[in-house]
Structure 1
Amino acid sequence: MISTSAISSASDPQIACSELKAQLDLSLMTTIIFYCASSFDLSLLADAINSHFPDNECVGCTTAGEFNGAGYETDTIVAVGFHDSCFAIQSTLIENLTEFSTFDAQKTINSLRESIAEKALAHIDSNSFIFSLVDGLSAKEEVFLTNLDTFTNGIPHFGGSAGVGLDGNKTHVFYDGKFRTSAAIVMFINTKQKFSIFSVNHVDQCRSKLVVTDADARTRQVFEINGEPAASVYAELMGLSVDELDAEVFSLHPLAVKIGRDYYIRSIQRVNKAFYSLSFYCAVDKGIVLNEVSLVDINMPLLKKLQSIRNSLGSPHMVMGCDCFLRRIASVSKGVIDKTHAIQSEFNLVGFNAYGEHINGLHLNQTFTGVYISEEAYE
């Protein structure tokens, strides 16, 4: 056994945790990662987790949706238990993202490395990866991830930003028995299994270029594009009114920055009608060029990537993923959800719909980012 996943759709936290416990063999695992709908009463859920899993280290976050091999889920809690015979895991909490410095990043990575060395199952540098969960509305992901990546020494790193349902306004991570805001969790994972960290999007090519002429980088708010109110410019580009702009429009018609030869989507979060400005989930600033981009079939890049990894590493045991919630909206809107579910089933995708995805120091939007864990172990 390598790991075990579990899911519960019970709305009562005690019942949900009881159902998860029945699906997980706790005698085999120390660490459990979970992803929960923000519709839960989080204080009651914390109590339930602590009472049902007193001897396990439980870490997790709130989501904008969950998924497992059976497809996308809503109002559930999904958990993954990592078997101690295959994984050695050390985690730590970053309590205040605002004050997280390069010195803190160095101290964090050094401490995790020292701790994992005492229980490593395989070579640390070649058989380890880092997983991060971050408050998805902290607006601190870019600085946090850049600082952290400075000291990872080439160890691959991925993760996701916690999400929330349409009616919520806070995202949370869970560590040491509590749900927390403005915080992050960093996990150093050493394993005997073959694995591959990856990230894909479905950007095709640039259609037009827009220049941000007024913005507040601190709040990720763009006030003007090409010298005009940002929301009006974007709406006109889409052939819509500002009142028609919503999450579905944002998911199907994204804006992206170009770094080198690659485009990285900067997803729009909302329209602020008081200023006709646009708020984003990723970093934006005055002077940057936002590209209107066309998209390919949302499922094909992910399927091709997973098939390629399978050809190299063997059959998947599980793909632990962070899938942008706007990809989920686009999959439904485009009527391709059945194909999405087929991929989730074929490769046993387990994870959550995020407000942003992390890979090797970058904070991304509208990607599927994850780790492919093979059934095969390194010799």
Structure 2
Amino acid sequence: MRRAHANRRACGVQTAWTSAESPEAAVAAIAEVVDPSDLGQLLVFFSQPYQAEALSQALSEAFPGVPVAGCSTSGEITPAGFSERSVLVVAFPKTDFRFVSRVIPEVRALSVERATEAVQALRQGLDRVNGKRYQNLFAVSLIDGLSRCEEAIVSAIAWALGDIPLVGGSAGDGLTLSGTSLLHDGQVHRGAALLLLVETAHPVRSFYCDHFEPTETKLVVTSSDASTRTVYELNAEPAAQEYASSVGLEPSSLAPMSFAAIPTVRIGGDYYCRSIQRVNDDGSLSFFCAIDDGVVLTVAEPRDMVKSMEAELEHLDTAIGGVDFVLGFECVLRRLDAENRQVKHKVSDLYRRYHVVGFHTYGEQYNAMHLNQTFTGVAIGRHGTS
């Protein structure tokens, strides 16, 4: 059996990860290195080759009574760097952290009223949890990455949360786009979302970062299907052909690497990415985010990914008096772009330096926005107030 690696931060958060072959072997290896004496919540991120039901059962047996929330990924961010076939467990202590969580099923039919009920139930749940009350709050969302309705989910949840910051990611399955899985307390869910509300004694700061700037090249969506996020025409021309022409590529060469390197962005107060998922056989384009007729997209060009992320992490470090740990959600297309530009090792080194853990996503959530090709998350400080 392949052994697990483990890491403990000053705030008490433990991280364990392994590339053991089976779900059972992975959980057994992780259980050997995680101190069980003060566990309050497990976050679990895993590559799709690990069967979700077997992994969920193994976690319940190895960590009885410990709440579990997690999802399948398009890659894990471990304390040792990037991984694409592993199980990663982030174990929060009861000391200085209080978690409550809830499954939101059938997210395609989610209403503001149902989202409000879920958030209210979580806040009431925090009130019932024994222990100290902490002033610092944040929320985490994990959403089925193929639900095609993250915008509506995040908007409804953020409205109900009010001024509580929300960060999160859309579950992935590598890049197969066939099905994602969510774990919650011994059960596997699909077509759903998980919402966690967290109180902590440690200073926290939510953030998002990207590395693109808009150009003058515009693409107007002139024919689309909003329900499937499919664009058939851009500028009244076949979508794949027009996108390829605009970025100087042949339509036959379009692939995930192309979309990672040259995304489109849209204005919404600020520019934010609307990333292309794939080229379809009919020459249409499927997107990771909501799209509709009349939307004006702008072709973007990259800035230095490493420098932009380093500047953000340095800012966070100053803002909270020293970053101890970052729970991060990064678009899988950013990882592909880093690989293509041969800076993946530099990004990985930077994340290790700031103790970033999390997963690569099909989309990222930040407050009321669902984003693409960004890095979002929450930084947690070393020094608590308790």
Please give the TM-score of this superposition, normalised by the length of structure 1: 0.96
Report the equivalent of 2:67.
57
Instruction: List runs of 5+ in structure 1 lacking aligned partners.
Output: none
2:312 to 302, 305, 308: 305
Report the equivalent of 2:213.
204
The alignment status of 1:133 with 2:133, answered yes or no, reads no
Which amino acid letter does the alignment assign opposite residue 62 of structure 2?
Answer: H
- SS of the residue corresponding to residue 187 of structure 1 reads strand
Which amino acid letter does the alignment assign opposite residue 111 of structure 1?
Answer: A
Change (3 A) 1:119 1:41: closer
Shift of 1:206: 2.1
- SS of the residue corresponding to residue 139 of structure 1 reads coil
The equivalences for 1:320-339 within 5 A come to 320-339=327-346
Shift of 1:42: 2.3
Which amino acid letter does the alignment assign opposite residue 12 of structure 2?
Answer: I
Shift of 1:74: 1.4
Which amino acid letter does the alignment assign opposite residue 234 of structure 2?
Answer: I
Report the equivalent of 2:225.
216
Report the equivalent of 2:274.
266
The equivalences for 1:7-156 within 5 A come to 7-119=17-129, 126-156=135-165
Q: Give percent identity, aligned residues only.
A: 34
Shift of 1:68: 1.5
The alignment status of 1:366 with 2:349, answered yes or no, reads no
The alignment status of 1:230 with 2:226, answered yes or no, reads no
2: CA distance, partners of 1:140 / 1:164: 17
- SS of the residue corresponding to residue 303 of structure 1 reads helix
1: CA distance, partners of 2:177 / 2:159: 33
1: CA distance, partners of 2:168 / 2:33: 25
Shift of 1:69: 2.0
1: CA distance, partners of 2:79 / 2:57: 28
- SS of the residue corresponding to residue 10 of structure 1 reads coil
Comparing 224-233 with 161-170, which one deviates more in the overlay?
161-170
Report the equivalent of 2:3.
none
2: CA distance, partners of 1:135 / 1:37: 14
Shift of 1:172: 1.3
CA contact (8 A) 1:17 1:52 kept: yes
2:326 to 295, 319, 323: 319
**After TM superposition, which residue ranges in structure 1, 4 or more long, deviate above 6 angstroms?**
none
The Cα offsets for residues 260-298 of structure 1, whole Å up to 9 and x where unpaired, read as: 2x2110110000122x11000001000000000111011
The Cα offsets for residues 5-62 of structure 1, whole Å up to 9 and x where unpaired, read as: 1001101111100111122112211210010000112232222222212221111000
Which amino acid letter does the alignment assign opposite residue 328 of structure 2?
Answer: G
1:186 to 173, 195, 210: 195
CA contact (8 A) 1:197 1:371 kept: yes
The equivalences for 1:260-299 within 5 A come to 260=269, 262-274=270-282, 276-299=283-306
Shift of 1:148: 0.8
Which amino acid letter does the alignment assign opposite residue 338 of structure 1?
Answer: H
Please give the TM-score of this superposition, normalised by the length of structure 2: 0.94
Number of aligned positions between the proteins: 376
1: CA distance, partners of 2:300 / 2:177: 30
Report the equivalent of 1:2.
12
2: CA distance, partners of 1:272 / 1:168: 13
2: CA distance, partners of 1:95 / 1:43: 17
1: CA distance, partners of 2:65 / 2:40: 8
CA contact (8 A) 1:39 1:165 kept: no
2: CA distance, partners of 1:360 / 1:121: 28
- SS of the residue corresponding to residue 193 of structure 1 reads coil
Which amino acid letter does the alignment assign opposite residue 126 of structure 2?
Answer: I
- SS of the residue corresponding to residue 305 of structure 2 reads coil
The CA RMSD measured in Å over matched residues stands at: 1.4
Report the equivalent of 1:177.
186
Shift of 1:242: 1.8
CA contact (8 A) 2:52 2:183 kept: no
CA contact (8 A) 1:139 1:218 kept: yes
CA contact (8 A) 1:203 1:263 kept: no
